[in-house]
Amino acid sequence: MTSREAGERGGRQVAARGDRRLAEQRVIATEAAREAVRRLRAVRGRLMFVQSAGCCGGSAPMCFPAGEYLTGPGDLLLGWVAGCPFYIDRRLYEAWHPGQFVLDVEPGMPEGFSLAAGDGLHFIVRTAGVEPRDRSG
């Protein structure tokens, strides 16, 4: 297993632990998100994700061409999803303590300067273990 493959499964240390690794991945992707990334990569080349926060389109994962966003020591590489690195500000990660992010796609416009996830789609993150329910009235 290459280091990237291990990383995509949640990091080398976690990968080495075998069966427990699935539960310990900090970010994973749905099949729809993987498919969106595959399509986008075919057009835009290598990609990266950065978790945003704050005003307006905060809480959205931003998708950029790889290297577009300069990461620094304050950023945490959460893992690799669909072949792309997924970063988050370390302080934000500590404040959110989300457990596991699940990258997904939904209808809607991309936030900020993010690339779209396809025609009329944007990337979102869900939090694993939090079940979306029908909350209609």
Partner 1 sequence: MRYVRPGEAESIVHVSSRYENFIDGKWVSPVKGQYMVNLAPATAKPICEVARSTPEDVDIALDAAHHAKDEWGETSPAQRAKALNAIADAIDAHREVLAVTESWENGKPVRETLAADIPLAADHFRYFAAAIRAEETRITELDKNTVAYHFREPLGVVGQIIPFNFPILMAAWKIAPALAAGNCTVIKPASATPWSILKLAEIIGHLIPPGVLNIVTGPGGEIGKALATSPRIAKVAFTGETVTGRLIMQYAAQNIIPVTLELGGKSPNIFFSDVMAADDAFLDKAVEGLVLYAFNKGEVCTCPSRALIQEDIYDAFMERALARIAKIKVGDPLDTETMMGPQNSAQQLAKITSYVDIGLGEGAKLLAGGHKAAVGGEFADGYFFEPTVFRGDNKMRIFQEEIFGPVLAVTTFKDEAEALAIANDTLYGLGGGVWTRDGSRAFRVGRGIKAGRVWVNCYHQYPAGAAFGGYKVSGIGRETHQMMLEHYSQTKNLLVSYDQNPMGFF
User: Should residue 129 be labelled a site residue for partner 1 when binding is judged by CB under 8 A?
Assistant: yes
DSSP type of residue 30? -
* Distance from C-alpha of 10 to C-alpha of 134, rounded to nearest angstrom: 31
Per CB under 8 A, which region of 20-28, 33-41, 58-66, 77-85 contacts partner 1? 58-66
* Distance from C-alpha of 2 to C-alpha of 95, rounded to nearest angstrom: 32
Cβ atoms within 10 A of the Cβ of 25, count? 22
Do 103 and 27 touch, CB atoms closer than 8 A?
yes
User: Should residue 130 be labelled a site residue for partner 1 when binding is judged by CB under 8 A?
Assistant: yes
User: Should residue 28 be labelled a site residue for partner 1 when binding is judged by CB under 8 A?
Assistant: no
Q: Which of 98, 102, 103, 117 binds partner 1 (CB under 8 A)?
A: 98
Binding site for partner 1 (CB under 8 A): 50-60, 62, 64, 68-70, 89, 91-92, 95-98, 106-116, 122, 124, 126-127, 129-133, 135-137
